[in-house]
Amino acid sequence: MAVLCSRTLLPTLTLSSPHPRRRRLLKALHFTLTTTTTCKASSLSSPTPTYEALSPHQKNQISLFVDALLQRNQRMNLTAVTAESEVMTRHVEDSLAMLAPLQQSYLARCGGSASCDALNLVDVGSGAGLPGLILAIARPNWKFTLLESMQKRCLFLDHVAGLTGLSNVNIVRERAENAGQSVDFREVYDVAVARAVAELRILAEYCLPLVRVGGLFVAAKGYDPQEEIRNAQNAIRLLGGSVIRLCDVASLGPFGQRTAVICLKDRATPRKYPRHPGIPSKMPL
């Protein structure tokens, strides 16, 4: 995985428009540009350095996960990918690619005393365990809550956690809207991650209420999420967050890269959010 820094959040704008409404919009977008940064990291020669850095035991755990995914996928819909090589490139490596921007951003925002040795993460809409199970294998000292609403998928997650011997995973069958209003989950996590779940303005309402003030929300998005980010700015602000960083990560997908959108939880989420189950997707903020 190579973390790149080649893009800005939005196109260059001029603030000289004579129309007051347009001028206010441009100023708001200009503020986003000047307060959002990109990740910086060295390019690495290996296409899969994070996977190659894993121990033999961790690689064996990954292999067990892939085998279980392909076997169970014959009976239930876990992934559209059916070849082992594609699962490795499009799912495993793509999930591992979130590690570098996550760790870099956490350390950068939490100051010199911050540590990534024992983070508490929630994977929202974990599905087949992507990225949650893969990250749990890569970071055994971190604690992971895999939040998934479908019983069949929770049973699969439990099966794989047992098969791979993971002791740092807690599987919770619950909707994100309900978890976000529960004292057991609300604002208790250092980081919330999500991959291939929903549009960003919807996803923010699922994830930000779970993150403690000062923590991060990390969304894995496509190669060009700028319009999605623009549409989500108001929702993220209402929920107590702000977009602080975009990290381009190398991917073997069709466009050659994906984007990790990093949001900081600046302040507590108002109690009315998240709204009742189904409302965020039907009526996005």
Q: In this structure, what token pair is assigned to residue 170?
A: 């807690």
Lowest mean per-residue pLDDT among 1-10, 124-133, 233-242, 267-276: 1-10
Answer whether residue 32 is part of any domain: no
Residues 6+ apart with CB under 8 A from 167: 140
Per-residue pLDDT tens over the stretch 69-88: 998 888 887 776 777 777 88
Answer whether residue 3 is part of any domain: no
Does residue 30 have a pLDDT over 50?
no
Residues 6+ apart with CB under 8 A from 148: 125, 126, 127, 154, 157, 171, 172, 173
Answer whether residue 137 is part of any domain: yes
Q: Residue 263: count other Cβ atoms within 10 Å of its Cβ.
A: 28
Query: Residue 26 and residue 55: Cα distance in Å, rounded?
Result: 49
Per-residue pLDDT tens over the stretch 111-168: 555 678 889 999 999 999 999 999 999 999 999 999 999 999 999 999 999 999 999 9
Determine the pLDDT at residue 255: 53
- The number of domains in the chain is 1
Domain that includes residue 227, residue range: 53-282
Answer whether residue 164 is part of any domain: yes
Three-state secondary structure call for residue 173: strand
State the pLDDT confidence band at 254, using cuts at 50, 70 and 90. Answer: low
Question: 166 to each of 76, 95, 129, 179, how far by Cα in Å?
Answer: 23, 17, 12, 23
Answer whether residue 100 is part of any domain: yes
Answer whether residue 168 is part of any domain: yes
Answer whether residue 33 is part of any domain: no
101 with 247: CB under 8 angstroms? yes
State the pLDDT confidence band at 278, using cuts at 50, 70 and 90. Answer: very high
H helix runs in 36-173, sequence order: 49-52, 56-72, 84-86, 93-96, 99-110, 132-138, 151-164
Provide the CA 245 distance to its chain's centre, in angstroms. 13
What is the overall mean pLDDT for the chain? 82
Closest CA to 101 of 16, 218, 256: 218
State the pLDDT confidence band at 93, using cuts at 50, 70 and 90. Answer: confident
Question: 150 to each of 146, 157, 175, 204, how far by Cα in Å?
Answer: 12, 11, 9, 20
Answer whether residue 24 is part of any domain: no
| Cα dihedral value 147, 225, 279, 182, nearest 10 | 30
Provide the CA 274 distance to its chain's centre, in angstroms. 18
Give the domain CATH number at 202: 3.40.50.150
Residues 6+ apart with CB under 8 A from 227: none
State the pLDDT confidence band at 40, using cuts at 50, 70 and 90. Answer: very low
